[in-house]
Structure 1
Amino acid sequence: MLLVLGVFAYNYSDYAVNAKVQVKNSSKCKLSSEKSKRKNIRKVKSYKKTPKVKRVTRKPSKSSEKFKEELKKTKLFYDIKSIPEFDGNTPFVVLNNNIPDFSKEGKLPNRYEVYSELDSKNRVGEAVALLGLDTMPTEKRGKIGMVKPSGWQTIKFDIVDGRYLYNRSHLIGFQLAGENANKKNLMTGTRYFNVTGMLPFENMVADYIKETKNHVMYKITPIFKDNELVARGIIMQAKSVEDNGEGISFNVYVYNNQPGITIDYKTGKAVLSK
């Protein structure tokens, strides 16, 4: 299948990647103007009063530091064409020697967030952002239950933490961008995918930003196979800007699976594995 990203393309074998973002990079880009030309870019509001949730600069959590060190020790690397099937125990695999690729995005302006338009099947596409303290939430998380991503099903299993198989999973986590019920930023993801797969990376990025006040380029690419409504997984890429990747740098594929559950990715329906 052919992945089209603006004016360039990747061949991802039989995977269909929905990513129709066209990004115009300019050193003189100002988000306060040309709103009609760049409707997908959300400008973070400025507040005259103290925000309800105070941003705190702090040291990274021990769990994030441990996860970061374990990631550095990874020896197995893959490319998108050779990703192995989910083995029931591994939430993610490392791609491209863990080196992220932002060559097509170039230098991004501050407070930059772009979310792809939904396709004809209501599927999300690639999301790109330049994350920093200025993109983090200043209010408590709102309700998102009204959003029904492609393939959404309300299914419960006793073997799943919290029983519900699916979460409305943020492409760019709420703690990083403050997006609530943005349908372009929510996909159908398993509990395991959301908490065990994505969250450790999100926490690592959030801790780094709060500790250093630096910025992080961040890109999430959902991977759909053919016409399936539920993504098989996502590619997560991130690179810290001011220190040129010394603080944060990763490129991983996170499986959208749940141990002990067999998922029909065409519909989102699922049963206990035999």
Structure 2
Amino acid sequence: MAKKSKKKYSKKRSSKPTLFSSIIVLIALVYGIWNRYGNDIQKAQSPNNNEVQSGVISKANQAQTPYGGLSSQDYQKLANLNFQSGAKAFVYVNNNRSTLIKNAWKTNKVIYSNLDSLNRTSKSNTAFLEPKNVANDSLRVRQFVNPTAWHYNSRNGVQIYNRGHLIAYSVSAGIDQNGQYNPANQSGDQNNPKNLFTQTAFTNQKIQTIFESKVRNALKSGNKVIYQATPIFRDNELMARGINLQAVAVNGNLDFNVYIFNVQPDFTFDYTTGRAKIDRNMQVNE
């Protein structure tokens, strides 16, 4: 009888993952998850620039003056803000509520602060206005005062600088350079070194006029208004980083408080000297 031959089966080795391969797989999984969701997590955890700026100045203090206004603490907070390309040109201060005391309106006048040791208008000018202060635009004359950081006025046909008023020409009819009302003078404030600063053409013509119009319209409606403007300088820089504008009507129909960055699309500035440099990456939202 023939012997049955035994089949020999080779023992199949079980494939167990090594420690090294497990680590590689784990790293790949983590990388994939982060690549998919990491940017969203970062965006959710990092507030945008406007939120950061608003948070810094969301609760303002009142200046220690009979009429309130911008405090020295909040001045410094505003001076420390850095504009980021693509952000809005202005932010609200104190949730857009003025820190001026509306009951402080007594006499039609403007309190012009003296220039500082660097000849800058670095302190607040505060105006106590009424309807007769709305100025006739036809009485404007050529400006010749050069505030600190003033340079050439245009580049390649683009206007860069303006002589920006603290208290607008359009709401200062009859106010002389001492801040007193003179009915014989129906022009608005002009060529007053205490009321001018170097401002970008964009900020002056596109943004600040929005808020000056609010004041002017309130006056035309018969209201009395306290209006304050404060250019904000950082340390010894000669060009202001921005300007704080706030106003309140005696009857309560007008109330705002904003900080406008002194910036311009397509340009960056050396605020120490005021010199401009073309930068096509600089974008400003109105």
Alignment TM class, shorter chain as reference: 0.5 to 0.7
In the alignment, structure 1 residue 223 sits paired with structure 2 residue 232? yes
In the alignment, structure 1 residue 10 sits paired with structure 2 residue 72? yes
Separation in 1 of the partners of 2:132 and 2:197?
A: 24
- The gaps in structure 2 that reach 5 residues or longer are 1-62, 173-187, 281-286
**1:82-231 correspondence to structure 2 within 5 Å:** 83=81, 85-103=83-101, 107-124=104-121, 125-138=123-136, 140-158=138-156, 163-177=158-172, 178-210=188-220, 212-231=221-240
Deviation at 1:89, TM superposition (A): 5.0
**1:245-264 correspondence to structure 2 within 5 Å:** 247-264=253-270
Deviation at 1:218, TM superposition (A): 0.5
TM-score (norm 2): 0.63
Q: Which has the larger radius of gyration?
A: 2
Cα pair distance change 1:81/1:257, threshold 3 Å: closer
Cα pair distance change 1:268/1:164, threshold 3 Å: same
Q: Which runs of 4+ in 1 moved over 4 A?
A: 4-9, 81-84
Separation in 1 of the partners of 2:261 and 2:137?
A: 30
Separation in 2 of the partners of 1:189 and 1:87?
A: 18
SS of 1:222's equivalent in the other structure is strand
TM-score (norm 1): 0.66
SS of 2:245's equivalent in the other structure is strand
Between the aligned residues of both structures, percent identity stands at 34
Deviation at 1:12, TM superposition (A): 4.3
SS of 2:258's equivalent in the other structure is strand
* Equivalent residue letter for 1:218: Y
- Cα shift readout 1:69-90 (whole Å, capped 9, x = no counterpart): xxxxxxxxxx748845243452
* Equivalent residue letter for 1:98: N
Separation in 2 of the partners of 1:145 and 1:206?
A: 22
Q: RMSD over aligned Cα, in angstroms?
A: 2.7
Q: Report the counterpart of residue 240 of structure 1 in structure 2.
A: 249
Deviation at 1:260, TM superposition (A): 1.0
Cα pair distance change 1:269/1:259, threshold 3 Å: same
Q: Aligned pairs, how many?
A: 200
- Cα shift readout 1:22-67 (whole Å, capped 9, x = no counterpart): xxxxxxxxxxxxxxxxxxxxxxxxxxxxxxxxxxxxxxxxxxxxxx
Deviation at 1:138, TM superposition (A): 4.9
Q: If each structure's strand is expressed as a fraction of its own residues, which one has the higher value?
A: 1
Q: If each structure's helix is expressed as a fraction of its own residues, which one has the higher value?
A: 2
Separation in 2 of the partners of 1:228 and 1:252?
A: 22
